[in-house]
Amino acid sequence: MSHRTWIELDTNAVKANVATLKSLLQPETRFCAVVKANAYGHGLLPMSELLRAEGVDAFAVDTIADALTLKDAFPTAFVLVLGYVMSEDLPNAIKADIHLTVADKSRIRELQSVASELDKQAFIHLKIETGTMRQGVDMVNLGDVLEEIKTSSNVVLSGLSTHYANLEDTSDAKFAGEQFERFSEAERMVLDAGFSPEFIHTACSAGIILYPALHGTMVRAGISMYGLWSDKDVEMAVLHHRIRCTLQPVLSFKTRVAQIKTARVGTPIGYGMTETMPRNGRIAVIPVGYFDGMDRRLSSRGEVLIKGHRCKVMGRICMNMMMVDVSNVPTLVPGDEVVILGRSGAHSITAYDIARTMGTIPYEFIACLNPLIPRVIKQTATEEENE
């Protein structure tokens, strides 16, 4: 089926990234794929299906809705909810054996009550606040929380976790080291209290790649699994320390030319007439706008690729359309492919390029791609197949 606008997922890139990241782990360390935010814009189910094909059987999401979707698709998979779950959703989570992140005594009491009524166990991962000031149990309250778990016979402490605030800053790892020390202290308290959680996890992408000491018994693979570096400093550190880690972007974002117009020099383009045609040439109307994820910060600044040529975005990006200068593209007809993110000929536009133009990070651009856009699985030829 052809699409007007679509997102391609490269099967071989998924395979290569998972293999690369797993090669950095000890065999007994569990690999958990973070597929929150619609799998970082890649599509929850399409991406998770590709990961399952590579042997991934553990997933982390933000919402209970996503967790239940994955459990329906993969009943035997381990699924952890990292984010907030409303009280009315707890019964469904417990029935489906979904693991929940917990950070306070009141939630433990609530889980005990619901699990007891269902005659089930509630599996929890206690998150420790070590310095990010997000969700987590403060160290001063940890003893009381552990006592609450002890008295909750239907609540199972399955995991212990934290999240680092500045792990990507390879020039100064002091604060990350302090966070790890606080977490290690919390882990000792948990063990001394008689618990033995199966899943000890603090490592995100940067932790997986740069800091083996943080791996614990499970790692949470996020942005790196999609073929993107969490920070340029991480990529530079990999090169400097000669770490065997090469990432391949999984996602390409494409659409088509809708209309081609002749425009004389000085012709105003788009809403507000914020830009005028710098020469006699042609404008192509592209059926993608900020609703689709083409952020308005790319107005008059972004680029797309058409037939191997870079084409500048002209004027303001609209809700469902934008205009680009195609004066340098020799032959063009409606329906021709437009690459918003990806490669065309000798040129490429990366998530870093787009994020730099927007003044943000790659995470934001890819996570905000409209989930209604079709995700298409693309099987690219391997080197062996090309020979």
Is 36 one of the catalytic residues?
Answer: yes
Note whether 97 and 108 are within 8 A (CB): no
What are the backbone dihedrals phi and psi of residue 313, each rounded to the nearest 5 degrees, phi first? -70, 130
- Strand 375-378 versus strand 275-276 pairing type: unpaired
Name beta bridge partners: 263: 281
Which residues sit opposite 333 in a β-bridge? none
Catalytic residue among 150, 232, 261, 271: 271
Amino acid at 57: D
Among the listed residues 15, 22, 36, 290, the single catalytic one is 36
Q: Which two tokens stand for residue 261?
A: 């117009």
Token digits of residue 309: 């040529």
What is the C-alpha separation between 42 and 64, in angstroms, rounded?
A: 19
Instruction: Report the run of H or E that residue 95 belongs to, with start and end.
Output: helix 90-95
| Number of helical (H) and strand (E) elements in the chain, helices listed first | 13, 20
Closest CA to 340 of 247, 226, 257: 257
User: What is the bridge-based pairing of β-strands 30-34 and 58-61?
Assistant: parallel
Spatial distance between the Cα atoms of 3 and 24, rounded to a whole number of angstroms: 38
Is the CB of residue 60 less than 8 Å from the CB of residue 34? yes
* DSSP assignment of 365-381: HHHTS-TTSPEEEE-PP
261 is catalytic: no
CB hemisphere CA count around 353 (13 angstroms): 14
Cα separation, 289 vs 325, in Å, equals 16
Rounded CA separation 163/134 (Å): 8
| 3-state SS record for 16-67 | HHHHHHHHCCCCCCEEEEECHHHHHCCCHHHHHHHHHHCCCCEEEECCHHHH
Give catalytic residues, as residue numbers. Answer: 36, 271
